[in-house]
Amino acid sequence: MLSFALVFAGTYDGHEFRRPADYSRGFYAELKPISLNFEPEALAVNGMDRDFLLRQGQPPQTAMSNAAQWVRSTSGYAQPVLVAYPLCFDWTFLYWYFIQYCQSGSPFGHSRCFDMKTAVSIKTGKPLSESGRNRLPSRLRSMRAHTHQAMDDAVEQAEIFANVFEWGGRNGANLGTSNQDI
């Protein structure tokens, strides 16, 4: 993992979801690589300079400890939940890095996570294989471009999460859509 970002995506008390007024509350870090193994294709997609990160990236211990502190500070007394689309990709890396490099462990525990791809599958009534971000109904999408830059993508996912969470689903009326629109 060379970079990651976390963005405050809203609150839910079991009854009411509240999206933030904006997505300016975030945390971003670029990490010093921990291995000589890497995929040049991945660097080509995200545009990161691995040599720069070897010199200037944060040690993972620093980045993960600061991230855990940010999550705990941002969530206050609430229990933070990691939300991602798809969860399996981000959770795998973040959880491992938190456990490996952060003395206080994962601020999300071992299971406080939410997979938006599964939520989309359930709410649209489509199979998981047809619930990728590129197949989202237009009204659920973020207006932001998917840039493969960690902070941009975190904000994009936060917007999608709020859109999906607020939508009543296939039989709901929150978006006023017909089944043809989903």
Residue 176 to residue 33: CA distance in whole angstroms? 47
Task: Convert the pLDDT of each residue in 78-90 to its tens digit.
Answer: 999 999 999 999 9
Write the CATH number for 74: 3.30.420.10
Count of alpha carbons within 13 angstroms of residue 13, beta-carbon side: 4
125-169 pLDDT, tens per residue? Answer: 999 999 998 899 888 999 888 888 999 999 999 999 999 999 986
Residue 151 identity: M
Q: Does residue 38 sit within a domain?
A: yes
DSSP-based three-state secondary structure for 9: coil
* Residue 98 maps to a domain: yes
Residue-number span of the structural domain to which 151 is assigned: 3-170
- Judge whether residue 180 has pLDDT over 50: no
Pairing of strands 113-115, 82-84: parallel
- Within a domain: residue 109? yes
**DSSP helix/strand/coil, 180:** helix
Predicted TM-score (pTM) of the model is 0.88
Q: Is residue 178 part of a domain?
A: no
The total domain count for the chain is 1
Per-residue pLDDT at 182: 40
Residue 118 lies in a domain: yes
What whole-number percentage of the chain has pLDDT above 90?
73
Give SS3 for 115.
Answer: strand
Structure tokens at 39: 């995929």
Asked whether residue 152 is assigned to any structural domain, the reply reads yes
Region for residue 5 given its phi and psi (left: phi exceeds 0; alpha: psi -120 to 50; beta: otherwise) = beta
Strand positions, DSSP E, 69-163: 82-84, 113-115
Residue 10 lies in a domain: yes
Is 166 a domain residue?
yes
